C-alpha cells in the first residue's frame, strides 16, 4: 500500500516539476544519444509486448493445465529439473515458464487500461479544473483529494467483495486508482499553459474554448501522460500483487505475476523458484519501464534539456 | 519419528489415515477397537453399566482398518511449562460458547469449558463421562444425568444441576444472537436435586448424547453469567475447564492461567497465551524460532519445512468435517443427474489427496465421517473419467457453461490449488466449468434457492445424526435447489431415523439415506482434509477431530 | 471535512450494497426466522438511507456503533489498533526518511559512479518487490536463519524492528530516488552555480541552497508517505501479525463488520486530512513564494 502512495507521490512530483515547463519541441533529439540502458529497457518492454501477444505460440505448456505428478519441480539447471519444464513447476504442477509468459498479459493490460482510464478521466478532470478554475476546479480537486485521502485498498477490497473477482473489475479499479494523480499533474500543466503566449494569443484571436483545448492544450499533455503511465505502472502491478496476497487478485486459474508470487511465498524455503521466476519478470518489467519513464522525463524536461 | 511417518504414509496409501506422531503402533491397536492407550492419565472411572452410552456401534460396524487420532499415552508426565504459547490463524472475537462457534473459538472453548459428555478420541471417540458422572435413558424421550460433585467453576462456585439447566434453557429462548438457539430438541428440563437432572426431548432423539458433547453444550455458570451479563461474559468467561481466562485483548491475545482445582488434575502449563498469526509462513517461522509452542492448522505442504528443521512433532488427524460442493439441481445443465454424476466421477480425489495434500486427507464414501459414531464403511467415491464422458454423451451435453463459486481468499489450506486441479480434471472429460472466486460473506449470500451458480463450495460437520436432517433434510437449502419432491424417499428415511433411538437401526437407515444422496448427487462430496498441528517434541497433545484444543492433563503433557 | 464526508459515504454505500454479516454470524443451517430476527435486532433490515442517517446522527455524538464480530464499540476497537499502526508507521517513516535522504544525497553527489549505480539499482529492485515478499524474506533470514529478532507479534521494541524495516525499505527506495533527482535538478540551477561561483564551500552549497530548494517535492511525498504508512500497512501487518488498523479493516470487510469498517475509514480519513494540512503548512514555511501568494 505504501507503494500505492508512492505512485501518488511521484505523480505529485510530476506536477511540481511540470509546473514550470514548456512544451517539448525536440522529439527528434531523442534518438540521438539514447543511453544503452534505455535501449535495453526498451527492448525488454518490446519483448514483453511480443510475449503477451504471442504467448500461446511461445509457451511450451498450457498455462492452466495442472500436472499433479510434476509438482514443485526445480528449474532445469538444478538437480531434479528437466528440460520439459525449463523454469520448473509450481505447487499445482503448472509450468512456470508458460505461466510467467502468460502472466505478462494481465500486467500489460492493467498498465494499459489504468493508463487509458486514468488518462481519460484524469485528463478530462485536470483540463476542466485547470482551464476553468473556480468552482469546477475546487470540486474536481476535492474529489481527487478525497480519493487520495481514502484508504483505497480497503475501498478496493470492498468493491471486489461486492462485484466478485474479475479481471475487468481489477482493471477498472486500477484505472480509478490512477486518475487523481493524472488529474493533478494535468491540471498543473494546464494552469501553466493557459497563460502562455500562444494560448493567450489564440484566445485574443477569438478562438473558442473547445478549439483551444483540443488544438493547443491536449497535444501538449500527451507526453505528460506517457511519462505518468511509466511512473504509475509499477504501483499498478504491485497493486495487483497485494490484492493477490489478500486472495482478491486475478481470478484463478489465469496466471498473473502478482498471484504467482503470492502463491509461492509459502514455498520460499522448499521451492523458492515458484515466486522468484515470476518475481524476476515483474522486476525486469517494472525497472525497465521506470527507467524509460525517468529518462523520458529528463529528456522532456526543458529545464534540464538546455544544459 | 521417521519410522512413524513412513508407516503412516503407507497406511495412507491404503486409504486410511493416521496420526504422524510416531505412535503408529499404539494407534493400530486402538484401531482394532481395543483400548490402545494404556492408562491415559487420570482417566475418569469407566462408565457404570447403567450408562446406556451410544454403545459402540462404531466398533461393531466399522471395519478393523478403522483409523484413530493421535492419543496421549500414559508416559510419566513429569515435565511442566511455565508458559504455553499457542498460535491460531485468527483470534476468537468472543468466548461465549452458546453465542457462536467458529472453529477458532472452538479451540479456546476446549481450554475453558467442559461438556456433560465427551468423546474419548483415544478410544475411537467413544462417549465417556465429562461433567456428568453418568447418564441414563429413562424412556424414549427422557435422559437422566448425574453430575460429578467435585467440579467448581473458575469463580469458585460449585457446578450444580441449576447451571446445567440454565445452560440449555439459554438455547430454548429463541434469542437470535445465540447460535445455539434451536440446537437442542428439548421440551423440558427438570432439576431433580443438586446434582441430578432430566432432559425430556420433543421427540425420541437417539442423538441426544452426541449433542451433549458438542461445543454449544459447554456448561456455563448461571449465577456468574446472570450477574455480569452476556456482554461481559463474552470477554470474561467462566467455565469449568483446565484454564481460566485472565486477559482478553480482542484480536490480539488471550491469556489463560491454569485452573488448579480442575477436576481432572493440574494442567501441565501454568499459563497459556493464545495469539493469532494469519500468515502461514510467519506461523511456521515462529514455531521454528521457538516463539510459539503449538501451531494449529499447519498446511500439509508445510510439513516438510517443519520436519526439515528437526525437533518438532507433526500430528495429522482427520477432522469431523468434509468439503463438498452444493449442487444446483434446478438450473441446466446440472439439473440432469448424469451431468452431476459426471462432475463427481471426473474428480480424481485420490490423486489430490495423495499428491496435493501429501496423503494428509482421505476420500470418503459419502458425506459421513469415519469418526461418526454411526459410521459404516463404504467404498470411497469413485473416479472414472471414461464413465463420466459416457454419461455426458448420454445427457447430450455439449459444453454448456457450469459456474463454480468458491472462496477467495480461501480458508482451507491449498483450496485454490485443489479448485484449479478439479477444474483441470473437469476440462479433461469435456466439462466446461468456470471458476468464480468471491469472499466468504459473498459466497454465503449466494447460497440461496435462486442462486445463479451451479456449484458452490462448502464444508460441513459430518455426523449423520446432526446434519442429515438439519442440513440436508426437507427444509434445507440443498433440497430447495432441486425440484419439489425429488428427495421424498430420502426425507421419509431421515424423518424416521430422527425419531429412532436404537443406534443400529438408525445407522442402517442413515446409510440408506446416504445411498440416495450419492446416487442422485444432492451434493458433490470432495474429501476430508486432515488437520495438522505442530509442536516441539517434548510437548504431547492429543488430537481432537472436533477442533478443541483440549489442554486437560489427560490430553496434554510435557515430557521432562 | 467535506472530504471526510465524501469518503465515509462512498464506503457506506459500497459496503451495504451487498453481502450480509448476519448469515456469517449464524450457523449455515440456521432457520430463516432466526436470520430475520437477528437482522431486525441489528437494524440491518431498514432501508440504507435510514441506516445512513442513523449512522451519522450517532457518529456526531461519538457513537460509531458496535462491532458485529467483537460485540463491543467499534470506536474502542479502532482506537486500540490505531496506536500500533501509528507506532509502526512513525518508526518506518523515520527510518525511511533518514536512510532515503542520506542515500539520495550521497548518490546525487556521486552521480555516475559505480556506487551510485549499484545503490540506484538496488533501490529499483526494492521498489519493484511486493512488501509481503520482502517481509517473508526478512523473516526467513533475520529471524529463522540468524535468530536475531522475533518473527511476529507485538509487545516489545524488538517485535517492531522487522515490520518497520519492511515498510521502510520500500519507502526508502522511492524517497532516495526522488531526493536524488530533485537534488540533481537543483544543483544545475543558476543560483547554485552562482553560489559556487561566489566561492562557497561545496557542502555549504549543498546544504544551504540545494537541499532547501529540493525539499519542496520531497516534503510533499513525505507527507503522502506518512499518511500511507499510517493506513497502508495492511499487507505488512498481516505478514508480521501486527495488531494494526489495516488488518482490522481488511478482516472487518471480509466479514462485513460494517461499524468497524466505517469507524476505520472515518478515523483514517481524518488522519489523512490532518497530515495533508500539515504538509500544506510546511510548504508555507519552506517556500517563501507560497507565503506571498
Distance CA B400, CA B431 (A): 8
Q: Which is more confidently placed, B204 or B439?
A: B204
pLDDT value at position B67? 43
What's the ipTM?
0.78
Residue B68 has pLDDT above 60, yes or no: no
Tell me the backbone φ, ψ of residue B420, rounded to 5 degrees.
-65, -35
pLDDT for the residue numbered C224:
65
Helix (H) or strand (E) holding A145: helix A134-149
C140 touches chain A (CB under 8 A): yes
CB A98 within 8 A of CB A61: yes
Query: What is the distance in angstroms between the Cα of C38 and the nearest Cα belonging to chain A?
Result: 22
Distance CA B92, CA A36 (A): 57
C-alpha pair distances (Å), A93 with each of A58, A278, B74, B498 = 19, 15, 43, 46
DSSP state of B43: P
Beta bridge partners of B557: B540
**Residue B552 neighbours by CB under 8 Å, 6+ apart:** B241, B242, B262, B264, B265, B267
In A, minimum Cα distance to C250 occurs at A154
pLDDT of res. A147? 77
H/E run at residue B249: strand B243-249
At residue B96 the predicted structure's pLDDT band, cuts being 50, 70 and 90, is very high
Q: What percent of chain B has pLDDT over 70?
A: 86
Q: Which helix (H) or strand (E) holds B39?
A: none
Residue range(s) defining the domain that contains residue A187: 41-300
> A8 and A123: one domain?
no
CA angle C229, C232, C237 (to 5 degrees): 95
Rounded to 10 deg, the angle between the A36-58 and A96-132 helix axes is 120
* Sequence-ordered list of residues with C-beta below 8 angstroms from that of B457, at least 6 positions apart, any chain: B323, B324, B325, B326, B404, B405, B406, B407, B415, B419, B443
- How far A127 CA sits from the closest chain C CA (Å)? 21
Beta strands per DSSP E along C42-109 = none
Contact between C150 and C159 under an 8 Å Cβ cutoff? The reply is yes
Query: For residue B10, what pLDDT is reported?
Result: 38
Q: Is the separation of the CB atoms in B535 and B247 below 8 Å?
A: no
Considering the domain boundaries, does residue A307 fall inside one? no
Tell me the average pLDDT across B24-36: 36
Instruction: For residue A64, give the H/E element and its range.
Output: none
For β-strands B269-276 and B81-88, DSSP reports them as parallel
Whole-angstrom distance, CA of residue B160 vs CA of residue B142: 19
What would the pLDDT profile of C14-29 be if each residue is shown by its tens digit?
777 656 677 777 766 6
* Residue A13 and residue A88 share a domain: no
Looking at residue B23, its pLDDT comes to: 36
Instruction: Examine residue A306 and state whether it is found in any structural domain, yes or no.
Output: no
A305 assigned to some structural domain: no
B224/B236 Cα distance (integer angstroms): 10
Q: pLDDT value at position A207?
A: 67
Which domains can be identified in chain C, with CATH numbers?
2-59 (no CATH), 81-292 (1.10.3720.10)
Whether C238 sits inside 8 A of B278 (CB atoms) is yes
What are the start-end ranges of the H helices in B267-407? 280-288, 303-309, 337-345, 349-351, 385-394
Report chain C residues whose CB lies below 8 A from the CB of A162. 14-15, 17-19
Q: Which residue has the higher pLDDT, B167 or B450?
A: B167
Q: Is residue A135 part of a domain?
A: yes
Q: What is the mean pLDDT of residues C258-269?
A: 83
pLDDT (tens, 9 = 90+) of chain A, 307 residues, equals: 333 333 333 433 334 344 344 445 555 555 566 778 788 888 888 888 888 888 888 888 888 887 777 778 888 888 877 778 888 888 888 888 888 899 888 888 887 787 778 778 877 887 777 777 778 888 888 888 777 767 777 778 778 877 777 888 888 888 888 788 778 777 777 777 666 666 677 767 776 666 766 666 666 666 676 777 777 777 778 888 888 888 788 877 788 888 888 888 888 878 888 888 888 888 888 888 878 877 777 666 544 433 3
In a shared domain, residues A95 and A204: yes
Average pLDDT over residues B475-494: 90
Q: Cα–Cα distance between A286 and C285 in angstroms, integer?
A: 36
Tell me the three cell numbers of residue B281: 509462513
DSSP B530: P
Residue B326 contacts residue B548 (beta carbons within 8 Å): no
- Residue C239 CA, chain-centre distance (Å), reads 16
Do A129 and A7 share a domain, yes or no?
no
Pair (A11, A87) in one structural domain: no
Alpha-carbon B446 to chain mean position? 24
Q: For the stretch B405-429, what's the b/e string if a residue is b when 16 or more beta carbons lie within 10 angstroms of its beta carbon?
A: bbbbbbebbbbbbbbbbbbbbbbeb
Residue A233, all three cell numbers: 505502472
Q: What are the tens digits of pLDDT across the range C97-153?
A: 889 888 888 888 887 788 888 888 888 888 888 888 888 888 888 877 777 888 777
Q: What is the pLDDT of residues C120-135, one digit of tens each?
A: 888 888 888 888 888 8
Tallying the residues shown for chain A, one arrives at: 307
In this prediction the pTM is 0.80
Is pLDDT above 70 for B34?
Answer: no
Q: Would you call B282 an interface residue with chain C, using a CB distance cutoff of 8 Å? A: yes
Residue A296 and residue A258 share a domain: yes
Strand partners, B126: B120
Query: Which residue in chain C is spatially nearest to B103 when comparing CA positions?
Result: C27
Pair A93, A194 in one domain: yes
DSSP B201: E
Angle (CA) B7 B13 B16, round 5° = 85
Report the distance separating Cα C92 and Cα C160, nearest Å. 9
The residues pairing with B152 across neighbouring beta strands, listed in sequence order, are B158
> What is the tens place of the pLDDT at every residue in B488-533?
999 999 999 999 999 999 999 999 999 999 999 999 999 899 999 9
pLDDT the model gives residue C292: 47
B449 touches chain C (CB under 8 A): no
**Residue B78: is its pLDDT beyond 90?**
no
Q: Is A214 part of any domain?
A: yes
Residue C185, C-alpha cell as written in the block: 535538478
Quickly list H helices, chain C: 2-16, 21-25, 32-41, 48-60, 74-109, 114-127, 131-138, 157-187, 190-197, 202-204, 212-231, 234-239, 245-254, 258-286, 288-292
Nearest Cα residue to A115 out of A172, A189, A47: A172
- B180-197 pLDDT, tens digit per residue, is 888 899 999 999 999 999
- Let me know whether A55 and A18 are in one domain: no
Can you tell me the distance from the alpha carbon of B109 to that of C125, in angstroms, rounded to the nearest whole number?
Answer: 47
Same domain, A80 and A165: yes
Residues A75 and A210 in one domain: yes
Phi, psi (degrees; rounded to nearest 5) at B152:
-120, 150
- Whole-number mean pLDDT of chain B? 83
- Confidence class for position B22, pLDDT limits 50, 70, 90: very low
Nearest one of B419, B399, B389 to B407, comparing CA atoms: B419
Closest CA to B404 of B481, B482, B328: B328
Q: Please indicate, yes or no, if residue A170 is contained in any of the structural domains.
A: yes
Rounded CA separation B24/B532 (Å): 16
CATH number at residue A256: 1.10.3720.10
Measured in degrees and rounded to the nearest 5, phi and psi for residue A305 equal: -65, -30
Q: Are residues A65 and A84 in the same domain?
A: yes
Chain B residues within 8 angstroms (CB to CB) of chain A: 280-281, 299, 301-302, 304-305, 308, 348, 351-352, 355-356, 408-410, 414, 416-417, 419-421, 423-424, 435-439, 441-442
Q: Assess whether pLDDT exceeds 60 at residue B21.
A: no
Contact B402, A48 (CB under 8 A): no
Show residues of chain B in contact with A92, CB under 8 Å: 356, 417, 420-421
Across chain C, the runs of DSSP E, i.e. the strands, are none
Residue B344 to residue B388: CA distance in whole angstroms? 8
**Residue C126: predicted pLDDT:** 85
**CA of A30 vs chain C CAs: smallest distance (Å):** 19
* Whether residue C230 has pLDDT greater than 70: no
Grid cell of B260 as nine digits: 488448579
Q: What is the CA radius of gyration of chain C?
A: 24
Mean pLDDT, residues B272-277 taken together: 91
C-alpha cell at B325: 460442493
Q: How confident is residue B220, by pLDDT bands cut at 50, 70 and 90?
A: very high
DSSP C143: I
Strand order across the beta sheet in which B196-201 lies: B132-139, B142-147, B196-201, B186-193
Contact yes or no for A281/A52 (Cβ under 8 A): no
| A-C contacts (CB, under 8 Å) | 182
Contact criterion met (CB < 8 Å) for A155 and C231: no
Grid cell 427422557 is found at B142
Nearest to C23 among B283, B289, B445 (CB): B445
Record: contact A290-C136, CB cut-off 8 A:
no
User: Which residue's entry shows cell 493416521?
Assistant: B18
Q: What is residue B341's predicted lDDT score, i.e. its pLDDT?
A: 94
Q: Does C232 touch chain B (CB under 8 A)?
A: no
Q: How far is C239 from chain A (nearest CA, A)?
A: 10
For residue A120, the SS3 value is helix
First to last CA, chain B: 18
Nearest to B483 by CA among B325, B329, B327: B329
What is the tally of structural domains in chain A? 2
**Whether residues A167 and A262 fall in one domain:** yes
Give bridge partners of residue B540 from the DSSP assignment.
B557
Q: CA triplet B253, B258, B260: central angle to 5 degrees? A: 160
* Minimum distance, in Å, between the CA of residue C33 and any CA atom of chain A: 25
Higher-scoring residue by pLDDT: A300, B234: B234
Assign B185 to helix, strand or coil: coil
Q: What is the pLDDT of residues C46-91, one digit of tens each?
A: 777 888 888 888 877 778 788 888 888 888 888 888 888 888 888 8
DSSP string computed for B107-164: HHHHHH---SEEEEGGGTTEEEESSEEEEEEEETTEEEEEE-SS-B-TTSPBP-HHHH
Residue B448: other Cβ atoms inside 10 A: 12
Grid coordinates of C245:
488498523
Amino acid at each position: 500500500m505504501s507503494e500505492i502512495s508512492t505512485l501518488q507521490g511521484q505523480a505529485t512530483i510530476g506536477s511540481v516539476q511540470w509546473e514550470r515547463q514548456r512544451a517539448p519541441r525536440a522529439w527528434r533529439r531523442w534518438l540521438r544519444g539514447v543511453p544503452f540502458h534505455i535501449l535495453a529497457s526498451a527492448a525488454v518492454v518490446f519483448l514483453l509486448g511480443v510475449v503477451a501477444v504471442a504467448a500461446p505460440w511461445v509457451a511450451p505448456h498450457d498455462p492452466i493445465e495442472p500436472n499433479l505428478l510434476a509438482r514443485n519441480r526445480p528449474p532445469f539447471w538444478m538437480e531434479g529439473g528437466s528440460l520439459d519444464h525449463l523454469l520448473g513447476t509450481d505447487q499445482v504442477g503448472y509450468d512456470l515458464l508458460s505461466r510467467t509468459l502468460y502472466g505478462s498479459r494481465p500486467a500489460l493490460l492493467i498498465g494499459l487500461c489504468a493508463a487509458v482510464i486514468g488518462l481519460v478521466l484524469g485528463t478530462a478532470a485536470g483540463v476542466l479544473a485547470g482551464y476553468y478554475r473556480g468552482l469546477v476546479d475546487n470540486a474536481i480537486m476535492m474529489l481527487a483529494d478525497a480519493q487520495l485521502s481514502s484508504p483505497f485498498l480497503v475501498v478496493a477490497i470492498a468493491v471486489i467483495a461486492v462485484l466478485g473477482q474479475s479481471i475487468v473489475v481489477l482493471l477498472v479499479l486500477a484505472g480509478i486508482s490512477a486518475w487523481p494523480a493524472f488529474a493533478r499533474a494535468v491540471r498543473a500543466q494546464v494552469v501553466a499553459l493557459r497563460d502562455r503566449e500562444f494560448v493567450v494569443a489564440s484566445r485574443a484571436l477569438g478562438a473558442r474554448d473547445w478549439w483551444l483545448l483540443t488544438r493547443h492544450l491536449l497535444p501538449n499533455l500527451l507526453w505528460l501522460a506517457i511519462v505518468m503511465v511509466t511512473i504509475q505502472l509499477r504501483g499498478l502491478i504491485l497493486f495487483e500483487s497485494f490484492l493477490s496476497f489478500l486472495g482478491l487478485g486475478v481470478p484463478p486459474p489465469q496466471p498473473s505475476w502478482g498471484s504467482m508470487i503470492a502463491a509461492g511465498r509459502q514455498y520460499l524455503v522448499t521451492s523458492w523458484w515458484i515466486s522468484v521466476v515470476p518475481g524476476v519478470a515483474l522486476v525486469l518489467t517494472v525497472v525497465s519501464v521506470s527507467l524509460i519513464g525517468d529518462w523520458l522525463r529528463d529528456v522532456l524536461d526543458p529545464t534540464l534539456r538546455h544544459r | 519419528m521417521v519410522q512413524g511417518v513412513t508407516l503412516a504414509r503407507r497406511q495412507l496409501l491404503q486409504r486410511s489415515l493416521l496420526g504422524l506422531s510416531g505412535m503408529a503402533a499404539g494407534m493400530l491397536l486402538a484401531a482394532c477397537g481395543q483400548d490402545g492407550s494404556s492408562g491415559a492419565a487420570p482417566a475418569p472411572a469407566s462408565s457404570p453399566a447403567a450408562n446406556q452410552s451410544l454403545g459402540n456401534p462404531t466398533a461393531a460396524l466399522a471395519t478393523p482398518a478403522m483409523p484413530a487420532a493421535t492419543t496421549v499415552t500414559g508416559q510419566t508426565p513429569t515435565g511442566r511449562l511455565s508458559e504455553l504459547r499457542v498460535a491460531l490463524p485468527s483470534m476468537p472475537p468472543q468466548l461465549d460458547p452458546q453465542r457462536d462457534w467458529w472453529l477458532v473459538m472452538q479451540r479456546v472453548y476446549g481450554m475453558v469449558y467442559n461438556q456433560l459428555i465427551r468423546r474419548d478420541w483415544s478410544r475411537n471417540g467413544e462417549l465417556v463421562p465429562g461433567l456428568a458422572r453418568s447418564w441414563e435413558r429413562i424412556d424414549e424421550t427422557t435422559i437422566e444425568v448425574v453430575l460429578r460433585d467435585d467440579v467448581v467453576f473458575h469463580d469458585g462456585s460449585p457446578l450444580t444441576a441449576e447451571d446445567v439447566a440454565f445452560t440449555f434453557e439459554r438455547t430454548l429462548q429463541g434469542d437470535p444472537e445465540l447460535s445455539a438457539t434451536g440446537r437442542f430438541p428439548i421440551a423440558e428440563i427438570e432439576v431433580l436435586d443438586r446434582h441430578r437432572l432430566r432432559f425430556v426431548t420433543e421427540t425420541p432423539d437417539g442423538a441426544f448424547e452426541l449433542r451433549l458433547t458438542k461445543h454449544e453444550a459447554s456448561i456455563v455458570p448461571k449465577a456468574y453469567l446472570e450477574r455480569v451479563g452476556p456482554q461481559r461474559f463474552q470477554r470474561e468467561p467462566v467455565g469449568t475447564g483446565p484454564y481460566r481466562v485472565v486477559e482478553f485483548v480482542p484480536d490480539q491475545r488471550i491469556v489463560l492461567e491454569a485452573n488448579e482445582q480442575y477436576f481432572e488434575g493440574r494442567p501441565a502449563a501454568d499459563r497459556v497465551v493464545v495469539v493469532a498469526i494469519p500468515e502461514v509462513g510467519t506461523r511456521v517461522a515462529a514455531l521454528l524460532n521457538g516463539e510459539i509452542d503449538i501451531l494449529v492448522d499447519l498446511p500439509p505442504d508445510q510439513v516438510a519445512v517443519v520436519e526439515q528443521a528437526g525437533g518438532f512433532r507433526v500430528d495429522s488427524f482427520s477432522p469431523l468435517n468434509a468439503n463438498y460442493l452444493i449442487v444446483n439441481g434446478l438450473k441446466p445443465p446440472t439439473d440432469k443427474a448424469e451431468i452431476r454424476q459426471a462432475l463427481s466421477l471426473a474428480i480424481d480425489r485420490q490423486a489430490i489427496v495423495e499428491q496435493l495434500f501429501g496423503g494428509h486427507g482421505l476420500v470418503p464414501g459419502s458425506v459421513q465421517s469415519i469418526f461418526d459414531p454411526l459410521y459404516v464403511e463404504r467404498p470411497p467415491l469413485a473416479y472414472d473419467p471414461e464413465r463420466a464422458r459416457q454419461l455426458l454423451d448420454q445427457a447430450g451435453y455439449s459444453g454448456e457453461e457450469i459456474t463454480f463459486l468458491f472462496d477467495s481468499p480461501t480458508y482451507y489450506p491449498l483450496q485454490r490449488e485443489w479448485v484449479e486441479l478439479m477444474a483441470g480434471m473437469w476440462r479433461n472429460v469435456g466439462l466446461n466449468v468456470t471458476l468464480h472466486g468471491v469472499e466468504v460473506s459473498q459466497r454465503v449470500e449466494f447460497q440461496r434457492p435462486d442462486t445463479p451458480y451451479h456449484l458452490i463450495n462448502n464444508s460441513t460437520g459430518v455426523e449423520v445424526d446432526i446434519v442429515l436432517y438439519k442440513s440436508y433434510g426437507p427444509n434445507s437449502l440443498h433440497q430447495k435447489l432441486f425440484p419439489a419432491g425429488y428427495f421424498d424417499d430420502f426425507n421419509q428415511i431421515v424423518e424416521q431415523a430422527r425419531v429412532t433411538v436404537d443406534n443400529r437401526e438408525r445407522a442402517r437407515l442413515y446409510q440408506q439415506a446416504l445411498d440416495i444422496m450419492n446416487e442422485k448427487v444432492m451434493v458433490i462430496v470432495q474429501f476430508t482434509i486432515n488437520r495438522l498441528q505442530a509442536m516441539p517434541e517434548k510437548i504431547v497433545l492429543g488430537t481432537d477431530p472436533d477442533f478443541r484444543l483440549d489442554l486437560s492433563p489427560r490430553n496434554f503433557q510435557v515430557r521432562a | 471535512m467535506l472530504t471526510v464526508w465524501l469518503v465515509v459515504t462512498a464506503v457506506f454505500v459500497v459496503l451495504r450494497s451487498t453481502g450480509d454479516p448476519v448469515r456469517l454470524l449464524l450457523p449455515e443451517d440456521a432457520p430463516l426466522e432466526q436470520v430475520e430476527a437477528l437482522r431486525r435486532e441489528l437494524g440491518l433490515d431498514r432501508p440504507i438511507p435510514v441506516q445512513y442517517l442513523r449512522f451519522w446522527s450517532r457518529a456526531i455524538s461519538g457513537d460509531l456503533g458496535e462491532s458485529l464480530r467483537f460485540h463491543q464499540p467499534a470506536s474502542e476497537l479502532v482506537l486500540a489498533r490505531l496506536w500500533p499502526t501509528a507506532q509502526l508507521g512513525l518508526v518506518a517513516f523515520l527510518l525511511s526518511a533518514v536512510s532515503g535522504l542520506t542515500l539520495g544525497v550521497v548518490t546525487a553527489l556521486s552521480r555516475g559512479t559505480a556506487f551510485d549505480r549499484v545503490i540506484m539499482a538496488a533501490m529499483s529492485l526494492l521498489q519493484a518487490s511486493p512488501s509481503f515478499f520482502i517481509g517473508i524474506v526478512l523473516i526467513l533470514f533475520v529471524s529463522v536463519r540468524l535468530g536475531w529478532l522475533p518473527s511476529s507479534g507485538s509487545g516489545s521494541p524488538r517485535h517492531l524492528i522487522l515490520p518497520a524495516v519492511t515498510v521502510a525499505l520500500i519507502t526508502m527506495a522511492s524517497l532516495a530516488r526522488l531526493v536524488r533527482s530533485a537534488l540533481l535538478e537543483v544543483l544545475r540551477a543558476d543560483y547554485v552555480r552562482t553560489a559556487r561561483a561566489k566561492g562557497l564551500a561545496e557542502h555549504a552549497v549543498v546544504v544551504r541552497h540545494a537541499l532547501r530548494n529540493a525539499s519542496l517535492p520531497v516534503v510533499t511525498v513525505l507527507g503522502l508517505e506518512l499518511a500511507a504508512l499510517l493506513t497502508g500497512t495492511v499487507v505488512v501487518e498481516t505478514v508480521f501479525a501486527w495488531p494494526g488498523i489495516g488488518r482490522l479493516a481488511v478482516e472487518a470487510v471480509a466479514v462485513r463488520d460494517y461499524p468497524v469498517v466505517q469507524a476505520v475509514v472515518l478515523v483514517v480519513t481524518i488522519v489523512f486530512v490532518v497530515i495533508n494540512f500539515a504538509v500544506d503548512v510546511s510548504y508555507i514555511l519552506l517556500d517563501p513564494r507560497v507565503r506571498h501568494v
